[in-house]
Amino acid sequence: MSSAVQDAFAGVPGAVFDGDVLSHLGAPLREQRALADGRAIAPLASRAVLTVAGPDRLSWLDSITSQALTGLQPGESTELLVLDPQGHVEHAAGVVDDGERTWLIVDLSRAAALHAWLMRMRFRLRVEVQDASGTHRVVGGAAGAVAALRADAVWHDPWPGIGVGGWGYAVTDPHPGAEYDWAEVIVDAAEFDRIASAAGQHSIAGELAVDALRIAAWRPRAAFEADERTLPHEVDWLRTAVHLDKGCYRGQETVAKVHNLGHPPRRLVSLQLDGSDALLPTVGAEVTLDGESVGSVTSVSRHYEEGPIALALIKRTTPVDAVLAVATDEGPVTAAQETIVPPDAGRTASVPRLPRLSRRR
């Protein structure tokens, strides 16, 4: 799928690629604004498509993932996680069912591993798992911007709503993702080629713009926020991807124990970076407090309104009002943190509402 994006959009004026991903078309900040305003769409080479068909598909996915899916209605969107036995996030997928098959939108970097795992978990159930990335592509944008595309399925991102059985840890009100109107449509190759050939009529944005809007909305993504230690609690993923009252699944004991009796060992924060207009830190950059390492950057971008911003996973015990430092190639830059997951996050926590930092510069 990924090479198809480069082949289709290589002739678009200003197109810049990072490998097979369309990064931008010469003006990533302007592309962000167009995406946010619903005037642009973005071909997403970083996404892959899996499908699950068969009469047992929803009950089967329900039994092996974090989300309650047996009652999922055709056209309804949700999100699931695949956890390891210790409750760490291995995979995440956007989910939409069309009445005959369940479509899963996943990170391309993890698609092969998820496909292989699903194939091993079929047993004797009436399910058929396929990698549809060879025949289908993913295009993203505001719901209104993608509505006119001839889609086989449309996934409306539930973030940052709190689903049935979910739980939100972020206490900031309003949530910065409240206006995050994001959808991803699954189109066949013919429709994708039509979109590419009409690129002069559509406003096209690259994935740098897509990621900037995601980071500003505090939206976790498996390819960035999920390392080998990530618990869903740490990145506030209980709100959209976990049903706390459903039956047993792999990792469920840890999910329940941490939520009901403890606190996640790390917490996701939003960082507003100072002094880094010319140079952004890289993903994985060390975050320090008074010279001591407290975590690392998971996602970073330059936002069209907020300037340099990042998401980072830091130690739970790091004071919420501490000014942090983030490493760059030219030395550390200071970073004001905004709490996403509070230090005492959990069912029993009683956390006051926190004032928001300014989202504009």
Q: How many other CB atoms are found less than 10 A from the CB of residue 197?
A: 11
Residue finishing a domain among 197, 225, 253 = 225
Residue-wise pLDDT for 87-146, tens only, equals 999 999 999 999 999 999 999 999 999 999 999 999 889 999 999 999 999 999 999 999
Within-domain flag for 259:
no
Same domain, yes or no, for 65 and 156? yes
pLDDT band (50, 70, 90) for residue 352 = very low
Residue 85 zone, left/alpha/beta (φ > 0; ψ -120 to 50; rest)? alpha
Residue finishing a domain among 199, 225, 251 = 225
Same domain, yes or no, for 218 and 304? no
The confidence score (pLDDT) of residue 199 equals 79
Same domain, yes or no, for 217 and 95? yes
Provide the mean pLDDT of the chain.
93
pLDDT band (50, 70, 90) for residue 351 = very low
Percent of the chain at pLDDT > 90 equals 85
Within-domain flag for 244:
no
Within-domain flag for 359:
no
Letter string b/e over residues 137-175, b meaning 16 or more CB atoms within 10 A of that residue's CB: bbbbbbeebbeebebbbbbbbbbbebbeebbbbbbbeeb
The confidence score (pLDDT) of residue 2 equals 47
Residue 151 token pair: 């889609």
Residue 284 zone, left/alpha/beta (φ > 0; ψ -120 to 50; rest)? left
Residue-wise pLDDT for 73-100, tens only, equals 999 999 999 999 999 999 999 999 999 9
Nearest C-alpha neighbor of 43 from the set 205, 203, 224 = 205
Same domain, yes or no, for 97 and 203? yes
| Cα gap 231→251, rounded to integer Å | 10
pLDDT band (50, 70, 90) for residue 278 = low
Residue 358: pLDDT over 70: no
| pLDDT-wise least confident of 123-127, 157-161, 308-312, 318-322 | 123-127
Q: What are phi and psi of 235, to 5 degrees?
A: -115, 15
Residue 50: pLDDT over 80: yes
Same domain, yes or no, for 221 and 304? no
Residue-wise pLDDT for 216-262, tens only, equals 999 999 999 999 999 999 999 999 999 999 989 999 999 999 999 99
Same domain, yes or no, for 64 and 165? yes
Q: Do 247 and 69 meet the contact criterion of CB atoms below 8 Å apart? A: no
Same domain, yes or no, for 13 and 129? yes
Q: How many other CB atoms are found less than 10 A from the CB of residue 317?
A: 11
| Cα gap 69→314, rounded to integer Å | 32
Same domain, yes or no, for 336 and 199? no
Mean of the pLDDT values across residues 55-60? 97
Within-domain flag for 99:
yes
Residue-wise pLDDT for 298-317, tens only, equals 999 999 999 999 999 999 99
Residue 248 token pair: 């047993």
Same domain, yes or no, for 18 and 137? yes
pLDDT band (50, 70, 90) for residue 45 = very high
The confidence score (pLDDT) of residue 201 equals 64
Same domain, yes or no, for 216 and 336? no
Provide the residue type at 327 as one letter. A
Same domain, yes or no, for 50 and 121? yes
- Here the CATH number for the domain that contains residue 322 is 2.40.30.110
Letter string b/e over residues 119-134, b meaning 16 or more CB atoms within 10 A of that residue's CB: eebeeeeebebbbbbe
Mean of the pLDDT values across residues 200-229? 94
Residue 294: pLDDT over 60: yes
The confidence score (pLDDT) of residue 7 equals 85
Residue 241 token pair: 């991807």
The pTM of this model reads 0.94
Provide the residue type at 168 as one letter. G
Residue 331 token pair: 């030395």
Same domain, yes or no, for 75 and 209? yes
Residue 248 zone, left/alpha/beta (φ > 0; ψ -120 to 50; rest)? beta
Within-domain flag for 195:
yes
| Cα gap 116→317, rounded to integer Å | 38
Residue finishing a domain among 204, 225, 246 = 225
Residue 357: pLDDT over 60: no
Strand partners, 269: 312, 339
* Count: domains in the chain: 2
- Here the CATH number for the domain that contains residue 142 is 3.30.1360.120
pLDDT band (50, 70, 90) for residue 11 = confident
Strand partners, 351: none
Its domain, for residue 286, covers: 265-340
How many residues in total does the chain contain? 361
